Every structure is written in C-alpha cells, then in structure tokens.
Amino acid sequence: MYHVPVLLEESVSGLNIDPDGVYLDLTFGGGGHSREILKRLKDGCLIGFDQDSDALANVPDDSRFIFVNHNFRYLRNFLRYCGYDEADGILADLGVSSHEFDEAGRGFSFRFDAELDMRMNQRSRLKATDILNTYSEEDLTRIFRNYGEVDNVRRLVDLIMRARTEKMITRSEEFLQVIAPCVPKQKEKKYLAQVYQALRIEVNGELEALEDMLKEAERALRPGGRLVVITYHSLEDRIVKNFLKSGNFEGKVEKDFYGHVKRNFELVNRKVIVPSEEEIERNPRARSAKLRIAEKRKDDKVIE
C-alpha cells in the first residue's frame, strides 16, 4: 500500500465540510485523505498538493479534484490560479509517506542500502549526500542538534568529517559504517531515526516550508474556515501549536488594547488528538501523530 492515512476520520471530520466548499489537501501522497474528503463533497472542489511526482499515479479521476505538483508553501498562489480567492478548509498531514520510506532508492530509510538522496521533490538539487560531504563542521553540528536533537552531536560530526577526507560518503551502508562507533547500543533505531530525520529536514527545508504554509493558510482561509494539521515530531508540532495559540512561531502571547490575544485562530480541540491504540496496532507509523484543529476567527479581531 502507498500510504495508510493517519487519523482519517478525526482529521476529515475536523474540516467540518460544506458539500459545496473549496478544500485543500496539502500532502496528497496516496490520496487517502483526499478520497474521504471527496466522498463528502457534492459540487465543491478539492485541490491536492504534492511535490513528489510519484504521487501523480494516485490522482483520482474526478472532475472535482485538481492536482498541483508543487510544494504546499505556495498554496495561496495556486488557489488563485485554480480560480478561487478563499478556501473553506485546509488539511496537512506532515508525515513522510510510507511509500517514500519503503522505496529503497529514495534513500529515506536506514533499512536499505541506497544513495543518500532524501529529496521529496526529485527536481530539487540538494541531496543528503551533498550535506554530508560539503557542509561545514558548524553547519553539520547545527542540523544534527537542531533537527535531530542528537545527544552526542560532536562525536557524530567528528566521525563524518574524518571519513569524508578519505572518501565521499554517498550510500546509506557507508554512512552507517562511518557513524557506527557513536550509535548507542540498545537504542540504535531511535538514534538512527534522529540522524536521518535531521538530514531529511535539511534537504527539504521542511521547517521553513511549514512556517510559510501556516502563514499562507491563515491568509487563504475564509473566516470560519478550518485548518487541520497532523504532526509527527516535536519540532514541527511546536511550530504548529505556537502559531495556532499565539499567532507567531515563538509562542509569545501578545494582547491588544482590550486584552484580546493577537491571533487569527481559535482552537477547536483544546487537547491534542492522538491515534487510538487500535489504530496504532493497525498502523505502527501512526504512533507519534498529533492532530490539531483550528478555526479562523470570524470577528473583527482577525489580523490581516
């Protein structure tokens, strides 16, 4: 299967769908969430985004659906290009698709020996192997510390810097051999997941794209429209939580003269929604998922 949609019912119901409304699925992937949205539309329109060209194979034959093969950070431009000024709801499932993890040649997983690629958009230039072989010691330390939250980051970077002076690191198996001395016993999978996550985030500019997307979604939604976001790690969840609660990415609450918090969203679910034990048993990759739903304010406190 290409990708098992996570929190499917909870996220799609969170959009509070108008059968004649305009909706955006910003991470189309295998199309699981999109198909469920289409079931609830009558004369409405759904625009699906995915920068991975492999997703084209999953596009439904439905006149109500428009596919955009680009990064979701440009959502407002493409919404207008499709003929709409506003959207009634926006859904973003931020997880890397199961297809990308399971496709050995894409280099996303340490389970396979493949070129260290990790590009979600295969038209972009930067690969993980470029990072490992050309980034400075300072920049490598920054990405593994900030994006992977790796504990022994100095030792990790030192091993990479030493190895690449003798030979370029181009494949996963080579990389795993290089860093083996600093991988903690009994915690190998967790550690390697953190290292690979850091590389993937840097290759794809994921956190910057997320911030751009949230600001664009805020402008694109009509008052009363819903924003539904599923996150999978603390870095992206912190960005989403801060933005929805405070209107900025630092989480700094600012109030106007009347004591109203300066933000454009009201939280629909005060407590974050997580998968049930049954869903995690069916789909272990759902384990770390967190769902947040917010509605754009209708009143005069909306900040444009």
Structure tokens at 249: 């990415």
Q: What is the pLDDT of residue 103?
A: 65
* CATH number of the domain residue 20 falls in: 3.40.50.150
> Is the residue at 301 inside a domain?
no
Please tell me whether residues 79 and 222 are part of one structural domain: yes
> Is the residue at 3 inside a domain?
no
> Is the residue at 176 inside a domain?
yes
> Is the residue at 1 inside a domain?
no
Listed in sequence order, the DSSP H helices in 103-171 are 128-134, 137-146, 153-166
Q: What is the pLDDT of residue 106?
A: 67
Instruction: Categorise residue 137: left if φ over 0, alpha if ψ from -120 to 50, beta otherwise.
Output: alpha
Which segments of the chain have a pLDDT < 70? Answer: 1-3, 97-108, 299-304
Q: What is the pLDDT of residue 122?
A: 83
Nearest Cα to Cα of residue 226 among 3, 16, 7:
16
Please tell me whether residues 46 and 182 are part of one structural domain: no
Please tell me whether residues 175 and 230 are part of one structural domain: no
Secondary structure (3-state) at 296: strand
Q: What is the pLDDT of residue 2?
A: 54
Please tell me whether residues 49 and 181 are part of one structural domain: no
**Domain total in the chain:** 2
Please tell me whether residues 147 and 124 are part of one structural domain: yes
* CATH number of the domain residue 155 falls in: 1.10.150.170
DSSP string across 185-249: TT-HHHHHHHHHHHHHHHHHTHHHHHHHHHHHHHHHEEEEEEEEEEE-SHHHHHHHHHHHHHSSS
Tell me: is residue 256 an annotated ligand-binding position. no
For 11-55, the pLDDT digits (tens) are: 999 999 999 999 999 999 999 999 999 999 999 999 999 998 888
Please tell me whether residues 110 and 199 are part of one structural domain: yes
Please tell me the distance from the alpha carbon of residue 155 to that of residue 56, in angstroms, as a whole number.
41
Tell me: is residue 99 an annotated ligand-binding position. no
Tell me: is residue 205 an annotated ligand-binding position. no
> Is the residue at 192 inside a domain?
yes
Q: What is the pLDDT of residue 87?
A: 98
> Is the residue at 2 inside a domain?
no
Please tell me whether residues 88 and 221 are part of one structural domain: yes
Tell me: is residue 32 an annotated ligand-binding position. yes
Q: From residue 48, give the alpha-carbon distance in Å to each of 56, 161, 203.
A: 10, 41, 23
Give the residue numbers spanning the domain of 185: 103-204
Among candidate residues 174, 204, 234, the one where a domain is terminated: 204
Q: What is the pLDDT of residue 107?
A: 59
Percent of the chain with pLDDT over 90: 80
Strand partners, 25: 48, 91
Q: Which helix (H) or strand (E) holds 94?
A: none
Structure tokens at 11: 């996220």
Sheet holding 290-296, edge to edge: 65-68, 45-49, 22-25, 87-93, 221-231, 290-296, 265-267
Among candidate residues 187, 204, 221, the one where a domain is terminated: 204
Please tell me whether residues 250 and 267 are part of one structural domain: yes
Tell me: is residue 25 an annotated ligand-binding position. no
Tell me: is residue 43 an annotated ligand-binding position. no
Please tell me whether residues 210 and 232 are part of one structural domain: yes
Please tell me whether residues 182 and 272 are part of one structural domain: no
Separation of CA 43 from chain center: 29
Please tell me the distance from the alpha carbon of residue 213 to that of residue 191, in angstroms, as a whole number.
29
pTM of the model as a whole:
0.90
Q: Which residues of 217-248 are buried (b: 16+ CB within 10 A; e: fewer)?
A: bbebbeeebbbbbbbbbebbbebbbbbbbbbe
Among candidate residues 157, 187, 204, the one where a domain is terminated: 204
| Torsion sign over Cα 98, 289, 276, 244 | negative
> Is the residue at 304 inside a domain?
no
Please tell me whether residues 198 and 112 are part of one structural domain: yes
Please tell me whether residues 43 and 16 are part of one structural domain: yes
> Is the residue at 167 inside a domain?
yes
